[in-house]
């Protein structure tokens, strides 16, 4: 299953928990600080499966996970956005 995430850089405190739990090494730590002075997490490759481990462990709810529907795996970018499912612990 294809997945992707978005990270709210300003909410992130750079704790690194999401980096540690990602089974696909899809998250790294940025070298550029956010407004609070933390080095936030950032996506580092396109191997995300949408497992949501990162979002579940994030203490600041800074990550949103999207899972794309299987039948639409060949769809265009706009269609993927329309057909994807948002996964969140909020
Ligand atoms: S959803 Fe899973 S695979 Fe994707 S970035 Fe988060 S932990 Fe990694
Ligand atoms: S777990 Fe949350 S707060 Fe910690 S580095 Fe990842 S996104 Fe930032």
CATH number of the CATH domain containing 32: 3.30.70.20
Question: What H or E segment, with its residue span, contains residue 18?
Answer: helix 17-21
Dump pLDDT digits (tens) for 26-85: 999 999 999 999 999 999 999 999 999 999 999 999 999 999 866 544 433 434 444 566
Ligand 1, atom 6: closest residue by C-alpha: 54
Determine if the pTM surpasses 0.75: yes
Residue-number span of the structural domain to which 82 is assigned: 3-87
Whether residue 4 contacts residue 70, with contact meaning beta carbons closer than 8 Å, is answered with: no
CA separation for the pair 3, 31 (Å, rounded): 24
Q: Does ligand 1 have an atom closer than 6 angstroms to the CB of 52? A: yes
Dump pLDDT digits (tens) for 10-42: 999 999 999 999 999 999 999 999 999 999 999
Domain count of the fold of the chain? 1
């Amino acid at each position: 299953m294809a997945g992707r995430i978005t990270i709210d850089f300003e909410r992130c405190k750079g704790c690194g928990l999401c980096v540690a739990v990602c089974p696909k090494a899809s998250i790294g730590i940025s070298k550029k600080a956010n407004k609070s002075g933390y080095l936030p997490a950032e996506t580092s490759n396109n191997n995300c499966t949408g497992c949501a481990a990162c979002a579940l462990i994030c203490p600041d709810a800074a990550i949103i996970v999207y899972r794309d529907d299987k039948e639409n795996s060949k769809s265009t970018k706009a269609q993927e956005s329309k057909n994807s499912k948002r996964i969140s612990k909020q």
